[in-house]
Amino acid sequence: MYLYSSHTPYSPFTNQFEREIELRCELKKKLLWLKNYAQPDDKAEQDELKPVHKLPIANTSKEKEKFDESIDSLLGRLLQKEAQGGATVFGIQERETLTSDIIDYRKRKQQEVIADLEKRFGLSDVELREIVEKRIDAALENDPPPPSAGVNAVFEIKKFLVDEILGLGPLEDFMRDDDVDEIMVNGPDKIFIEKHGRLQLTVRQFANEQHVRTVIERILRPVGRTVNEKTPYVDARLLDGSRVHAIIPPLSLSGPMITIRKFSRVPYTMDDLVFRFKSATSEVAEFLKLCVHMKKNIVVSGGASSGKTTLLNVLSNFIYPTERVICIEDSAELRLNQVNLGRLESRQQGTEAKNQVTIRDLVRNALRMRPDRIIIGECRGGEAIDMLQAMNTGHDGSLTTLHANTPRDAVARLETMVLMGGVDLPLRAIREQIASSVNIIVQNGRLADGKRRI
């Protein structure tokens, strides 16, 4: 059975949205033309530029003329602002403008504090933070920042030093921001974030590649992982549940890269998906709730960053507390609230192949742990055949996710993954196994405007 949502208000585009896309294209074309052939107006206004998405929508000829005037005014001011070292076009924020004396001052104070901390060992996080803040206060008091630093210089420099010494440097603010869902570092000079479903290039930068490597080590150290020439990439889970992937040269040609997938501090509920994010109708929500209660085997399908894990979390809340649940994940992301819950996490291959424990190994172990339901965070390979057999042999109500763009593609992916498990079965037998095991395929989608829909 395939589940679709035909609720018309959730159409991927509205007339206004399509019009905004068209106008953005017009703006970009004019911007490129002016950059090549026009000179910035010396008398351009210095007020803040209007965000592109807030420009008036042009429907009538008068509105079109007014819009063209707004575009021309925006571009003239933009070119002058770019000439001064800043840009605010198409999701790119204005660059930080720090003078060399401020940069040198921050580096000098950072080195002083670190040199003092190297003499202290065995401190708790709270004690270390107190000492760092006191040492920074003393350093700033003895050697105040230069006058060009501005009114809030002491506060900003203290925050910068604390983030660099104890936190994740340029990434620390994004880790604290609950509206940021994902952080992507493409080398030292490009940090992207996903906020409210939209990608943005931020103004933050690392000093150099070694700075990125230092932050990677700081991220991985608490979880006992590392990256080096023997293992130049790593997947890990932070203490707050965030998922991290890091890869370094020579595999990464643009310098060290980091991808951090954050998760909400408070797990979402079905009401959040229906009323807050408008990801599903109330009828779909009630139907899915009944499917879980009736112990239907459910596969959540969708593309990357379409909300599969979030929906799997939400569906797990409908499992009765009297049931025993075994949850298996490659990197622990799910936040389940069951009383009788067993959680298993695979182990990546280290320097020796015998250290590796795969999802398939854990599924076979889970079958010996008397589960009422088995939840697999994501099926990617040969574990699919074990999952299907579990669904078909008394473990009704099991849940999993997989990457596929449509429900039909999800079935084809299951067939492929079963074959990846080395099972010598004809395709007809595999399809019959899927048909008898899977009751519901729920398709998630991520639209062009960044919103997720079920």
pLDDT beyond 90 at 173: no
Structural tokens at position 223: 């979880």
| Cβ-based neighbour number of residue 3 at 10 Å | 16
CATH of region 100-261:
3.30.450.380
CB 419 within 8 A of CB 279: no
Q: CA nearest 359: which of 317, 305, 283, 417?
A: 417
Percent of the residues in the chain that have a pLDDT greater than 90, as a whole number: 29
What band does 448 get if pLDDT is binned at 50, 70 and 90? confident
In terms of Cα–Cα distance, which of 420, 405, 409, 414 is closest to 437? Answer: 414
Out of 39-48, 321-330, 418-427, which region has the weakest mean confidence (pLDDT)?
39-48
Q: What angle do CA 103, 105, 107 make, to 5 degrees?
A: 70
48 token code pair? 């803040």
Rounded percentage of the chain residues whose pLDDT exceeds 70: 68
- Report the pLDDT averaged over residues 413-430: 89
List the domain boundaries for the chain: 2-83, 100-261, 270-453
Do 100-261 and 270-453 show the same overall fold?
no
Identify the architecture of domain 270-453 in CATH. Answer: 3-Layer(aba) Sandwich (3.40)
pLDDT tens track for 255-288: 999 999 988 777 888 999 999 889 999 999 999 9
pLDDT digits (tens, 9 = 90+) for 204-261: 888 888 888 988 988 888 877 888 888 899 888 787 778 899 999 999 998 999 999 9
Q: How confident is the model at residue 301 (pLDDT cuts 50, 70, 90)?
A: very high
Tell me the mean pLDDT in the region 307-323: 92
